[in-house]
Amino acid sequence: MDFRARSHPSWIGFAVHRVSGLLLALFLPLHFWALGSAIQGEARLDGFLRWADNPLVK
């Protein structure tokens, strides 16, 4: 296989764009869940924040 193209700035930009898109796809559902919890009330948001403070989630 020819990997010369992987050192090209365009390929590096493609890779960064792809990774940032995947990270955003993972972050947004959790963010919307937190916002929904905040809308539903303080107790519900506190429950979400306790869950988010879990070492496995961090």
pTM, whole model, 2 decimals? 0.64
pLDDT above 90 as % of the chain: 64
Q: Is the pLDDT of residue 2 over 80?
A: no
5-24 mean pLDDT:
92
CB under 8 A, 24+ apart: contacts of 25-28 = none
* pLDDT of 57 strictly over 90: no
Contact of 26 with 32, CB cutoff 8 Å: no
- The Cα–Cα gap between 51 and 53 comes to 5
